Amino acid sequence: MTNRKYENVQEAEDVGFRYTPDHFYFNQPGKSYVTDMAHYQRLYDESIADPELFFDQMAREFLHWDKPYTKVKWGSLEKGDIAWFLNGELNACYNCVDRHAFQTPDKSAIIFEADDEKENRIITFSELLREVSKVAGVLRSWGVQKGDTVGIYLPMIPEAIIAMLAVVRIGAIHSVVFAGFSAASLKDRVVDAGCKVVLTCDEGRRGGKTIHMKNIVDEGLNGVDSVSKILVFQRTGNANIPMTSGRDYWWSEETAKQRSYLPPVPCNAEDPLFLLYTSGSTGSPKGVVHSTGGYLLGAAITTRYVFDIHPEDVLFTAGDVGWITGHTYALYGPLSLGTPTIIFESTPAYPDYGRYWRIIERYKATHFYVAPTALRLIKKSGESEISKYDISSLRMLGSVGEPISPELWEWYHEKIGNKDCVVCDTMWQTESGSHLIAPLAGAVPTKPGSATVPFFGVDTCIIDPVTGMELKGNDVVGVLAVKSPWPSMARSIWKDHNRYVETYLKPYPGYYFTGDGAGRDHDGYYWIRGRVDDVVNVSGHRLSTSEIEACISDDEYVSEAAVVGIADDLTGQAVIAFVCLRDPDLNAGCGDIETSMGGDATPPDFHRELVLQVRREIGPFASPKAIIIIKELPKTRSGKIMRRVLRKIVSNEADQLGDLSTLSNAEAVPDIMDAVKQQFFSKLAH
């Protein structure tokens, strides 16, 4: 296969940031496991020069093995046959629960901060072992075997963590579906994963509102015969939840029948630990497959060294367990180290903007990890709340999921960190399993806006997207790739290994391709510029433009659609949909989704209907901010949509359209500009 050329790599700067001057911060020096930059550099060089030796030491130190491995590293990026810790056996649940329950039974494992603060509770390691064993017992009594997949559709409550650990305790594979996904998205994922059993709850609570979880499950799994059993946790205890006899069972009743200890099942290091669906540039969501040994090691060592976690620390990861951040840094990372993890059910604005700071004060959290989108919200609306709380327990402030601008970085450092905390901008992905590029707190000096330097064993490089050649040296810009396998990298796409190879390993043969544009400055620091493929990042949620396009194109009036992401003050990026009608002479009215009056031919609520369609099919977080009706999409001679042109126009950068010589219908451009002016800019002005 030939190298792929990403047309928008040059524009990736729109969502990334230009280099700031050499403005280094060095917070909390001298207290960390890795003492300084020279120490980091020595360890990093060792990890690249002799990964077998380096990760053998790490795997022995951080994990409990039931059976030792016979070889540390195997396979290549050329072949896509990657394996770590061959023939070794371990159980991830044992590593996260049992060994700590034996040593520190009364230590907090899960600190639950409920939507309503009156419902907060703490679960110790010994209690966690009991709860997990009981749920594992239920699953086993239902015939769930090693290697089976189990679906989990639960909000941010301790039972989500308990469910995940129970599944891996018996060697099964969990597939968590984010609780914000619609019934249709849940169904797609459960069917693709082949889940026999699903764990959910009656209702969720978020920001004082009720989410009808069980209803969504019933709707999504209606007619899905492969799911034979559903375990329902009573989160709110609503007595009117319909239960299908022979399929649905109450969590409390079933667990009451089980013993409080069930032995963990040893798994091969390469046995899948979990699947997590994520959006790519094309096609349906991919079930990213993570391994038991390599993944768990990556989670443990990045949590230890990037966050610099010590035994007495408390980690507050404010990401949802439905995404990779929740998997790695709310569950597997902290619990594998025996570190208490704060599980937060609510939102940063409920009941007021002081919520995060109250949590940190209450539990003396030392580490706080959040997406920039939440920080932007607080900066805009809730800054005055910060000083009301004592958050001096904090040592590290993490950022994840999207680029953090230098301005927001400085704000975080000053307003939340009192200029005394390390800001760790961590760049990674669902597929990487754990941090790829991030400063080690207390060791690596930071620069606002840069994710800094690669983690141990991650041999990052910048590739020229056009020639496919690696750009050596410093001061280079291109796409971000990795030169050799690291332990926690995804091993496959569920039931489609070929797609794994095509997506990540073929674009630049011999390299793992991240999909991101990036630069390396004169200090060797990395600056992430955003996706160069058709993936948008809304409030840290990863979405594929093609998925949204497919959903909009299903509408009977729509012939074609193109979706682009544009910069947004609050959500990082926002989704804008360009739509062509089947009958171009129809007047669909003009207007954004809020003010549309409809037109002569399409239904009056046409815009709203398209938005609802996206909400129903994918989930509310994927809703387009605007729908703009145009006559024709800009296309290349080979028929490819030039999204760059649409993105530039709707970002008010029509003067920077760049080279249009490959466009087959350049005459469409002025029409698009007019449409954007009338249907989008004029509405923004109001």
What residue ranges bind ligand WTA (CB under 6 A)?
278, 323-325, 400-403, 425-430, 451, 514-516, 528, 530-531, 537, 542
Helix or strand (DSSP H, E) at 662: none
Any idea which residue has 């990657």 for tokens? 82
Give the shortest CB-323-to-ligand WTA separation in angstroms: 6
> Whose Cβ is closer to ligand WTA: residue 126's or residue 514's?
514
Query: Which residues are bridge partners to 18 per DSSP?
Result: none
State the Cα–Cα distance between residues 210 and 201, nearest whole angstrom.
12
Based on CB atoms, which residue is closest to ligand WTA, 514 or 545?
514
Report d(CA 226, CA 150) in Å as an integer: 11
Q: What is the DSSP string of 67-109?
A: B--SEEEE--TTTT--EEEET-EE-HHIIIIIHHHHH-TTSEE
DSSP 435-497: -SB-PPTTTS-B-TT--BSBPTT--EEEE-TTT--EE-SSSEEEEEEESS--TTS--EETT-H
* Burial zone of 369 (CB within 10 Å; 0-12 exposed, 13-18 middle, 19+ buried): buried
Nearer to ligand WTA, 113 or 402 (CB): 402
- What is the spatial distance between Cα 155 and Cα 240, in angstroms, rounded to a whole number? 20
Q: Residue 51 or 515: which CB sits closer to ligand WTA?
A: 515
Give the torsion through C-alpha atoms of 37, 411, 429, 122, to 10 deg. 100
Shortest gap between Cβ of 660 and ligand WTA (angstroms)? 27
Residue whose C-alpha is closest to residue 436's, from 371, 478, 484: 484
Nearest distance in Å: CB 401, ligand WTA: 5
Residues 6+ apart with CB under 8 A from 378: 348, 353, 356, 385, 386
Shortest spacing between CB 432 and ligand WTA, in angstroms = 8
Two tokens at 41? 């550099």
Q: By C-beta, is 300 or 400 nearer to ligand WTA?
A: 400
Measured distance CA(419)–CA(428) in Å, rounded: 25
CB of 95 to ligand WTA, least distance (A): 22
Nearer CB in complex with ligand WTA: 395/531? 531
Specify whether the CB–CB gap between 532 and 9 falls below 8 A.
Answer: yes
Shorter beta-carbon distance to ligand WTA: residue 32 or 514 = 514
The CA distance from 59 to 94, in Å, is 15
At a CB cut-off of 8 Å and minimum separation 6, what does 437 contact?
Answer: 426, 427, 428, 451, 452, 453, 454, 455, 458, 460, 526, 528
Q: Using the minimum distance from each CB to ligand WTA, give the nearer residue, 127 or 425.
A: 425
Residue placing its CB nearer to ligand WTA in the complex, 317 or 537: 537
Cα(453)–Cα(455) distance, rounded to whole angstroms? Answer: 7
> What is the Cα Rg of the chain in Å?
25
Residue in the structure block whose two tokens are 């597997």: 332
Q: In degrees rounded to 5, what are phi and psi of residue 372?
A: -55, -30
Query: 27 or 537: whose CB is closer to ligand WTA?
Result: 537
**CA 414 – CA 245 distance, rounded (Å):** 56
CB-nearest residue to ligand WTA = 430
Q: Which residues contact 380 (CB under 8 A, 6 or more apart)?
A: 569, 570
* Smallest distance, ligand WTA to C-beta of residue 125, A: 27
Nearer to ligand WTA, 258 or 426 (CB): 426
Considering the complex, state which of residue 288 and residue 645 has its C-beta at the smaller distance from ligand WTA: 288
For residue 427, give the H/E element and its range.
none
Kindly tell me which of 515 and 599 has the beta carbon lying closer to ligand WTA: 515
Contact 508, 96 (CB under 8 A): no
CB closer to ligand WTA out of 417 and 515 = 515
Shortest Cβ 322–ligand WTA spacing (Å): 11
Instruction: Provide the token pair at 345.
Output: 């059910």
CB of 534 to ligand WTA, least distance (A): 12
To ligand WTA, the closest distance from the beta carbon of 535 in angstroms equals 7
Shortest distance, CB of residue 499 to ligand WTA, whole angstroms? 16
State the minimum distance, in angstroms, from the CB of residue 598 to ligand WTA. Answer: 36
Give the span between the Cα atoms of 147 and 162, in whole angstroms.
18
- Shorter beta-carbon distance to ligand WTA: residue 442 or 515: 515
Nearest distance, CB of residue 665 and ligand WTA, angstroms: 31
- Tell me the closest approach of the beta carbon of residue 593 to ligand WTA, in angstroms: 26
d(CA 67, CA 65): 5
Q: For the CB of residue 361, give the shortest distance to ligand WTA in the complex, in Å.
A: 26
Q: Tell me the closest approach of the beta carbon of residue 100 to ligand WTA, in angstroms.
A: 26
3-state helix, strand, coil in the chain (%, to 5): 35, 25, 45
